[in-house]
Structure 1
């Protein structure tokens, strides 16, 4: 069998299994602390633990976060949160809507925000004063993600292990998490004469 025919016969199908159990009640706010990335570009980590690469720095207009206990072994990747700071006189009422793209631990914090997200915590023209705090008290709530895209899968082309296939779900809208993905091989023949 020639390699072209074999290539057309092998295809991977993905089936996402959605688990409909939120780990945090939607709409309920919890107290925590937040800080921001101190990287040179302050956009988040392009090698983040969620495996999103550059997408993890630009999704949601760059309003992204690394989390510690909310990471839950990777199940928290892609989750959306409304984060509001509680510093009197400096904080906006809306706060920031962030997407989890990385794991990170700070000074007793649940969130390590991109600078774009951290700035959204402040009232207009007061972001510099909020940045001077470094770490601030916040309240947060899990919220449904909203994207202008349907669920997509990215097949990661490079790996240190040649026998490893990595598939990353992207743009998962809604309030629930993908906790498992099944992948299997389907053989079919494409008739190229028609």
Structure 2
């Protein structure tokens, strides 16, 4: 009987603890949501550029020469409108794996959305990846990269995966043409989800967060002014609504075409 009595009281104590602290659990879950997609989805893939090249030269997301250097180099990819999402899908990362066992290994390649491929293979409604020649060939069994590229379009499976830019923090590139009345920013090296759902800016002399508008790709802008720096920038991810705030990341004496790196990232 004593054992039964203790078990009942231990159960009541456990319930009491859960009830007391349950209010904290949702916040913990929200602050560290899983972006990993464990399910593979069917799609098709092609490649472009030179056979062993990096693929995109700039691209519709606006990353410019970043696609030519590490950590993006040879991992860039153009996607059909269903994944490009009018530019809001820019920066998202996917694992892509070839389905032909005669030529392909089971190894998936990780690609970063940097471009859009409208029409043709990428017609609206299709889920399609147009990969760099290097990324496409990397899906093949060693020595079969050329044969796989000769296939042209192939069947693949894909899933969402966290972006990882080791040693990098989120950076904000001030686009050419920006002024105190029209400020345009490009977001670089966003870990984890990679995509952006909303973006706000705060001036040094204000507590108000001003909403920026999505222009195209990974570029956002605000028309107001005169705007006074330094500026804090707040970004919210598209997929799980996580928020990151970079305080005074853009200095008072900012200049167009300059890039300003924050001290933090999502992971």
TM-score of Structure 1 vs Structure 2, range by shorter chain: 0.7 to 0.9
Asked if residue 107 in structure 1 is aligned to residue 121 in structure 2, the reply is yes
TM-score normalized with structure 2 length: 0.56
CA radius of gyration, larger in:
2
CA distance in 2, matches of 1:127, 1:38: 15
Q: Deviations over 1:111-133 (max 9, x none)?
A: 01011111111111000100100
TM-score normalized with structure 1 length: 0.75
Q: For residue 36 of structure 1, what is the aligned residue in structure 2?
A: 47
> Which protein has greater RCO, CA pairs closer than 8 Å, 6+ apart?
1
Contact kept in structure 1, 2:53 and 2:74, CA below 8 Å: no
Q: For residue 82 of structure 1, what is the aligned residue in structure 2?
A: 95
- Rate the CA distance shift 1:178–1:21 in 2: closer, same or farther, 3 A: farther
Alignment of 1:87-102 (within 5 A): 87-102=100-115
RMSD after superposition: 3.1
1:162 deviates by: 9.8
CA distance in 1, matches of 2:116, 2:175: 19
Paired positions, count: 170
CA distance in 1, matches of 2:139, 2:117: 19
Alignment of 1:64-79 (within 5 A): 64-68=76-80, 69-79=82-92
Bigger CA drift: 103-112 or 118-127?
A: 103-112
Structure with higher helix content: 2
Contact kept in structure 2, 1:33 and 1:110, CA below 8 Å: yes
Which of 137, 145, 151 is the matching residue for 1:127? Answer: 145
Alignment of 1:112-191 (within 5 A): 112-148=130-166, 149-158=168-177, 164-175=182-193, 177-187=195-205
